[in-house]
Structure 1
């Protein structure tokens, strides 16, 4: 039986109960073992997984949307960047290491190896394979960024000082710090254990490379040369300088990508891969098939265990033993009502449970009213739409930069005084060229220096975009700083913000509690969940109804005839307008409580 990397890893995830809420429906089909699968089928599975992974990285930071919504349109949108990354990574490998390089992100064109064990044949397809007289280097390219490897994300303590888990060599490559530093503390190896865990956000990439090594090292046809194993990722510190070639195509330097030599790290996972292979073989012999019911463990669509806020931190039983979500699910606790009340040791979870049991929403009226009192008029309700490309498009941008192409503003001059149409202002780029300056200048014309609050929903997104504008256009730094200082997050009133309410005089305990909960939220305070509770407005049936739709629509600007373009342009305006009007409606409803 032939098995691909994606099949192998997905089945290990399923068997370890790591995947119920994160595996896409397509992965069910991709994970099924079958004697009918040919090598070409495995290649198709791997190709599909590669591009879906690219989409996952596009949305993982900024979106509530699920990846199985309009997946084909998303793939079409990201494919040019995927192909460009292939070219850039291959060039960087050739320039850095020389020798003979076989590099391609298309599985059908890759170097491949296999390992036959007990009638199971594992296959690996290598993104990059480089060979010279002394060494063979294997490369696995991930469309994620080096930020996941950064000092801020992964560090260990030595003599009360923090040190990076990965160290940059003079050659420019990064290696595990144990490669260059002796007598490391226990804290280093505790952090390393996380990196070797498939469930870790970075560990999943390292496991991926470890699988490639495991298959290659057991292939009877491998050469006897020394071998190294690398992850290739986008450099999160790379800033595009705006250079283009004679055809107007962006020119990127080789330092757009970073190389992580993880040879010593993935070697430590050899025994784990052997154990996992035995587990997969047992699944096949026992005829255990992964299907949707197994993945979801009959988890209900409404009021599932996942709706509890901070549930990723687990729960505590009567003996104060930590219980992870997977522990509970494997014991048949899949509904929010299944879990014993005594396990709900967080006040916010207790509030949620009471709301579900009683069928009545919860409000902390005092906190909501005190929060609203902090607003200053006129209120500028502000929302940005952006295109999140893996490769920077314009000068000053970095990989996966949120490149703003649209904004919407509703101006509320006094409490409740705002007309949906007459008090609306906005900007939408006419094409996919660099229109950022025009956008910023238009915004600065609309938002006056009058001290009025600038209301947003989830402040980190708009604040970061404004800070980026300061870097792109330093001549407007002070005016943009004025806007940043006036930002006010409506989510602080709808949900909570501990620091905000402590400054208003609330106790630490009450400041930590949510201000509002309704069963229809289902654990999410996204504006699309909140709006229908306070208004008759809805995003349903809108041609552009979420951030993914907006990106897809913007990306099509240069592919449409005049009539199609005008319709899509207006659809985008209406969508972004809905976002800011939603804030007006929600705020007005909260005032009237």
Structure 2
């Protein structure tokens, strides 16, 4: 969340640069509007145009106008228009300013090329009636004796829950029906109508998919549901040495480097645990300490990864995407990178269907799986504990005082190393399982 806020302000600075370079445009920033009944809006930018009309600009750090249930930019801008107009300021045009995802930095940032000014006036006008009703309902609720037990998120799928879901819905257990994979809202509605929230109360005859039912069975039987044969086959097809591999990447709304684009990741670090057929384990790693493209990182990878052996990753689609994008940046290295992708397998896949445990709480992230199958190992002792924090720490390292750089670097190295060592431990767990 802090990263999103910081990048939003950074995009706003370039919007200001764009308007400043236009010369005679009358634009103000952060204008505030309040109403007596409790509405408040702070508008990113407001322009008094030559014809007496007023334009409102909502600035986003995304690369498109989003209209999904979780991020509806049209409704965001509509709220601001309604608030401004109820406070006495008529709004004639509404624009959503976002980033051009195809923009490639080449030297100094060009605001006119990086920014897109999307006219969303008509789209906003279409939702004014419904948004006004929602605003009035919210104001009425705030003015009443409020019952704060529960929120409408209980009607939605887990991906659409608000950040305060656990606070407003303490009666929902963990795991719950929301932990079931790909459970649609209509099924949630059916279960709630039966007063079913916990997995222990899901009826045997309730229609669920095979993947959903196996999670319920795991919870009700108090043990994981294991299919040994696909696990044995997956492990038997691995080729030694095994390279347990993980990238850490950096991305930013405003491109940091030449040849990069808004929100496009590029690797800045990797960890590699190498397991030989005789059981010998050794570790290699690389961290880029300068703001530069991953050319030196690639050189080190070619030294550390031999021509034979399986690359074992977790959520391999991410690693493969990074390798493909690096191949586009460095065509001379495409053969090496494509070969890595061809040799890569995804350890996470086994925990989607072959080893299912309700204690994963609907997730197969490495941290969720690790705490169940290898509880002796976790991330609690690390300064950096997730990918977003790693990204922020790497940027902070670039700007840090010399005496602080090594400390930040070591925190990053330990975090990435923990990811690949976690894969090694999970691999050993699976090998014992099938022995």
- Structure 1 counterpart of 2:354: 515
- Say if 1:363 and 1:400 are closer, same or farther in 2 by CA, change over 3 A: same
Counterparts of 1:428 and 1:582, CA distance in 2: 19
1:489 corresponds, among 333, 336, 346, to 346
The offset of 1:516, in angstroms, is 1.0
Counterparts of 1:479 and 1:440, CA distance in 2: 9
Counterparts of 1:286 and 1:309, CA distance in 2: 38
SS of the counterpart of 1:578? Answer: helix
The offset of 1:96, in angstroms, is 6.8
C-alpha contact (below 8 Å) 2:269/2:288 kept by paired residues: yes
- Structure 1 counterpart of 2:61: 143
Alignment of 1:8-27 (within 5 A): none
- Structure 2 counterpart of 1:309: 181
SS of the counterpart of 2:92? Answer: strand
The offset of 1:477, in angstroms, is 1.7
Counterparts of 2:84 and 2:202, CA distance in 1: 45
- Say if 1:540 and 1:475 are closer, same or farther in 2 by CA, change over 3 A: same
Deviations 1:397-423 (A, max 9, x none): 111222321101112222x7242xxx2
- Structure 1 counterpart of 2:81: 213
Unaligned runs of 5+ in 2: 150-163
1:235 corresponds, among 94, 97, 100, to 100
Unaligned runs of 5+ in 1: 1-51, 57-77, 104-109, 150-194, 245-250, 315-321, 496-513
Runs of 4+ in 1 over 6 A off after TM superposition: 291-294
Residue 113 in structure 1 maps to residue 23 in structure 2: no
Residue 323 in structure 1 maps to residue 187 in structure 2: yes
C-alpha contact (below 8 Å) 1:98/1:132 kept by paired residues: no
C-alpha contact (below 8 Å) 2:31/2:46 kept by paired residues: yes
C-alpha contact (below 8 Å) 2:173/2:197 kept by paired residues: no
C-alpha contact (below 8 Å) 2:11/2:60 kept by paired residues: no
Alignment of 1:346-361 (within 5 A): 346-361=209-224
- Structure 1 counterpart of 2:327: 470
Counterparts of 2:181 and 2:34, CA distance in 1: 44
Deviations 1:111-164 (A, max 9, x none): 233445xxx142322101112222321100112222x65xxxxxxxxxxxxxxx
Counterparts of 1:475 and 1:294, CA distance in 2: 50
C-alpha contact (below 8 Å) 2:100/2:262 kept by paired residues: yes
Counterparts of 1:549 and 1:220, CA distance in 2: 43
- Structure 1 counterpart of 2:379: 539
SS of the counterpart of 1:592? Answer: helix
- Say if 1:516 and 1:96 are closer, same or farther in 2 by CA, change over 3 A: farther
1:89 corresponds, among 15, 32, 51, to 15
Alignment of 1:542-561 (within 5 A): 542-558=382-398
Number of aligned positions between the proteins: 417
- Say if 1:295 and 1:528 are closer, same or farther in 2 by CA, change over 3 A: closer
SS of the counterpart of 2:88? Answer: coil
Q: TM-score, normalised by structure 2?
A: 0.87
Q: TM-score, normalised by structure 1?
A: 0.65
C-alpha contact (below 8 Å) 2:173/2:198 kept by paired residues: no
C-alpha contact (below 8 Å) 1:298/1:334 kept by paired residues: no
* RMSD across aligned positions (CA): 2.7
- Say if 1:90 and 1:366 are closer, same or farther in 2 by CA, change over 3 A: same
SS of the counterpart of 2:237? Answer: coil
- Structure 1 counterpart of 2:303: 445
Alignment of 1:448-459 (within 5 A): 448-450=306-308, 452-459=309-316
The offset of 1:332, in angstroms, is 4.6
Deviations 1:350-386 (A, max 9, x none): 1111111111111111111122223222221110112
Alignment of 1:165-244 (within 5 A): 195=67, 200-202=69-71, 204-222=72-90, 227-241=92-106, 243-244=107-108
C-alpha contact (below 8 Å) 2:48/2:55 kept by paired residues: yes
C-alpha contact (below 8 Å) 1:136/1:228 kept by paired residues: yes
- Say if 1:476 and 1:294 are closer, same or farther in 2 by CA, change over 3 A: closer
The offset of 1:551, in angstroms, is 2.5
- Say if 1:444 and 1:541 are closer, same or farther in 2 by CA, change over 3 A: same
C-alpha contact (below 8 Å) 1:367/1:515 kept by paired residues: yes
- Say if 1:329 and 1:396 are closer, same or farther in 2 by CA, change over 3 A: farther
Residue 370 in structure 1 maps to residue 233 in structure 2: yes
- Say if 1:266 and 1:457 are closer, same or farther in 2 by CA, change over 3 A: same
- Say if 1:281 and 1:553 are closer, same or farther in 2 by CA, change over 3 A: closer
C-alpha contact (below 8 Å) 1:297/1:329 kept by paired residues: no
The offset of 1:441, in angstroms, is 0.9
